Structure 1
Amino acid sequence: MMNLLTKAKVLEPANPNRSTALFGGKASGILNWNDIAYPHFYDHREQIRALFWRASEIDMTQDIKQFPTLTEREQDAFLKIIGLLATLDGPQTDIAAKISDYSTDPSVKSIMATIADQESEHNHSYAYVLSSVTTLAKQNESFETGRKDEVLLKRNERIMDVYNEFAAFPTIENVLKVMIYTALLEGLFFYSGFAFFYNLARHNKMVGTSTMISYINRDELQHGRFISELFRATLAENPHLNTTELTDWVYDQFRYSVEQEACWSRYVLANIDGIDLYEMEGYVKYRANKMLRMLGLSEIYPDHIENPMKWIRAYVDNFDGNKTDFFEQKSRQYTKTSDLNGFDDL
């Protein structure tokens, strides 16, 4: 019989302030950051909160002028990738809220609320970019990509299944599976798209867009850090779910996701100047290894321990888990300037 979680009550004064479990436990609903079950969650909260920004802060003046000068292939990839990112980020606001609904730890609820807000801004930022550079018809067409593009629909099948399964049947096991796909979204699914915009920027194209993408990328890195930690803590609280079956399921999702990301890359990035598809696939496998390490699991691509796309480090924080613990590193400070972060000098 399936043990469904119930939504946590808003206030239950008979329960302790410090939660007894992340999911399926008891807590009053009163959040005292000096008395929480996982004190290091406060550090995650502070790091995520430090990343506040708004799409309207990004100067798109040069991008407006440059977009018509992009090749037809670059324009097509630009619009499809924005469509992909919107398809992935749109549900993240809702899924963060759903995880919060069923968590019985008020610190988790607080952090997920911030994550949900940031995901909402990410989705808004894609509309902001498109409204700056193309017509309303093209904007709407880009946002239809996630509903109509066959390659993208295939790519997102399992995401849709796992998210909808959790919405219908909120069990702890399904919470764990949702966290895995959230980690995949934050740490792997976006990266071929991010690489496209960073590649344009290193050729001094669409630098405003790439600046915004780097802000989103930094947010996602922080989200991925917290979700991975939440997954590990939830699994530790529920050791009966720490099975070979679950581990095998996670590895299968990672292999499938890498295959789909590589397929998408070949579809949308073919013939883009500066993008090597073989290198791109290696980068995706490298990212998969890093995400697995964060989740406490073993690497599955032993030939892809090093980042094959060294140039991308100029555009995004590099968390290298080889010598320094991923969770101990700090995100760089944002610089919100009208000269577009100095990318023209790279």
Structure 2
Amino acid sequence: MEKSLLERAKTLEPQNPNKSTGLFGGQSSGILNWNDIAYPHWYKMYKRLLGNYWQADEVNMSGDVKQFSNLTAAEQEAYLKIIGLLSTLDAPQTRTALLISLYATDASVQSIMAVIAQQEAVHNESYSYVLSSVVSLDEQNESFQHGRKDPVLLKRNEQIMHQYNQFVEEPTIENILKTLVYTSLLEGMFFYSGFAFFYNLARKNKMVGTSTMISYINRDELEHGRFIAELFRATLAENPEQNTSELTEWVYTHFQQSVELEIEWSHYVLQDVEGIDLDEMAGYIKYRANKMLRMMGLHEIYPEHVENPMKWIRAYVDNFDGTKTDFFEQKSRQYTKTSDLNGFDDL
């Protein structure tokens, strides 16, 4: 059967209604009135994303500069490899968010994706910022080479690269849905063994500036994952012919593959790091996979991992009153203005 390729959304088509008739492949004027959109609650998501605004150089790295040389050899190696990993995940996200918006015929999706793309660009900048604070330029460059050369990392990222590039080559509804699945995996699970490493350092009063930066990124990714899951569900509802048993099995298969690859990566990069139980880490990865599947409207595939086995992580990323308190005598600061838009899912 011949695949139907989507056309890029036109910039302005005044003959069409302002409220879109479809997320992808629909009609809309290109004029955005937030009070007249197809999915009104997405305005709250847009506002939450805006409320998370931050810049990399706002984080004080002076303590980390002094501490890095005192980390164990295993901690230093993991630090550099994990920064290399994170950069391979966030750099493509900026472009992928923009690519999705090019085919979105709903102006609210275009705007939300623009904010997500901007935040992913800040995330990637932050990795350059933290490395420039603690190691030489040569070591910085070497860390960023991991995504191109490390065989375990290349294996881990192979399916992400394949699906993202498949969407570039064949912009169909099916490939948008599959790309949203991998975006959900990326935002909601692929980062988390890396996040755990930095929070574990902070538990030992090490590299607190870096962990603060990571907590900012973590909070953004929680919001991104929430929106991507909703976009997946809404796109599937608008295109019921895509809601097949084959697609569902594809999602479950690729979630399982991704969990196995993430566990393999966590063993590779964290095996010599004191303070992280690798069996507990594997359970946490499965817990995160279950959580993302539920958000996407699917059932859990790891029924024995419905509870977070690493509850200590929550202390480093969220408080429900909207205020983030830095640890170890860093000052408290307001993350977002207190409003009914605050609060987010448990890690």
2:262 and 2:151 mapped to 1: Cα distance? 14
**Deviation of residue 337 (structure 1)?**
10
In structure 2, the residue matched to 1:326 is: none
In structure 2, the residue matched to 1:228 is: 229
Do 1:59 and 1:340's aligned partners in 2 also have CA atoms closer than 8 Å?
no
**Deviation of residue 112 (structure 1)?**
0.2
- Cα deviation code 1:182-238 (max 9, x no counterpart): 000000000000000000000000000000000000000000000000000000000
Matches within 5 A, 1:243-322: 243-317=244-318
**Deviation of residue 317 (structure 1)?**
3.1
Do 2:187 and 2:222's aligned partners in 1 also have CA atoms closer than 8 Å?
yes
In structure 2, the residue matched to 1:137 is: 138
In structure 2, the residue matched to 1:34 is: 35
**Deviation of residue 333 (structure 1)?**
4.0
Do 1:214 and 1:316's aligned partners in 2 also have CA atoms closer than 8 Å?
yes
Which runs of no fewer than 5 residues in structure 2 stay unpaired?
334-347
1:40 and 1:143 mapped to 2: Cα distance? 38
1:342 and 1:45 mapped to 2: Cα distance? 25
User: SS state of the match for residue 304, structure 1?
Assistant: coil
Do 2:324 and 2:332's aligned partners in 1 also have CA atoms closer than 8 Å?
no
User: SS state of the match for residue 273, structure 2?
Assistant: coil
User: SS state of the match for residue 196, structure 2?
Assistant: helix
**Deviation of residue 335 (structure 1)?**
6.0
**Deviation of residue 150 (structure 1)?**
0.1
Amino acid at match of 2:120: E
Amino acid at match of 2:188: G
**Deviation of residue 240 (structure 1)?**
0.5
Do 1:47 and 1:331's aligned partners in 2 also have CA atoms closer than 8 Å?
no
1:34–1:21 distance in 2 versus 1, CA, 3 Å: same
Identity of aligned residues (%): 67
2:255 and 2:184 mapped to 1: Cα distance? 10
2:140 and 2:302 mapped to 1: Cα distance? 38
In structure 1, the residue matched to 2:95 is: 94
Do 2:205 and 2:328's aligned partners in 1 also have CA atoms closer than 8 Å?
no
In structure 1, the residue matched to 2:205 is: 204
In structure 2, the residue matched to 1:240 is: 241
1:248 and 1:332 mapped to 2: Cα distance? 38
Amino acid at match of 2:144: F
Matches within 5 A, 1:47-126: 47-126=48-127
**Deviation of residue 271 (structure 1)?**
1.7
1:338–1:275 distance in 2 versus 1, CA, 3 Å: closer
Do 2:212 and 2:326's aligned partners in 1 also have CA atoms closer than 8 Å?
no
1:111 and 1:209 mapped to 2: Cα distance? 27
1:170 and 1:339 mapped to 2: Cα distance? 50
In structure 1, the residue matched to 2:344 is: none
In structure 2, the residue matched to 1:151 is: 152
* Structure 2 residue 168 is matched with structure 1 residue 178: no
1:316–1:251 distance in 2 versus 1, CA, 3 Å: same
Query: Given the alignment, which residue of 327, 340, 346 partners 2:330?
Result: 340
1:333 and 1:224 mapped to 2: Cα distance? 21
**Deviation of residue 65 (structure 1)?**
0.1
- Cα deviation code 1:138-175 (max 9, x no counterpart): 00000000000000000001000000000111001100
In structure 1, the residue matched to 2:339 is: none
**Deviation of residue 316 (structure 1)?**
1.8
User: SS state of the match for residue 48, structure 1?
Assistant: helix
User: SS state of the match for residue 28, structure 2?
Assistant: coil
Do 2:146 and 2:153's aligned partners in 1 also have CA atoms closer than 8 Å?
yes
* Structure 2 residue 16 is matched with structure 1 residue 15: yes
**Deviation of residue 116 (structure 1)?**
0.1
TM-score (norm 2): 0.93
**Deviation of residue 332 (structure 1)?**
2.9
Which runs of no fewer than 5 residues in structure 1 stay unpaired?
319-329
1:10 and 1:308 mapped to 2: Cα distance? 47
1:225 and 1:155 mapped to 2: Cα distance? 23
**Deviation of residue 56 (structure 1)?**
0.3
1:293 and 1:182 mapped to 2: Cα distance? 15
2:329 and 2:216 mapped to 1: Cα distance? 15
CA RMSD in angstroms comes to 1.6
User: SS state of the match for residue 340, structure 1?
Assistant: coil
1:260 and 1:19 mapped to 2: Cα distance? 39
TM-score (norm 1): 0.94
- Cα deviation code 1:94-141 (max 9, x no counterpart): 000000000000000000000000000000000000000000000000
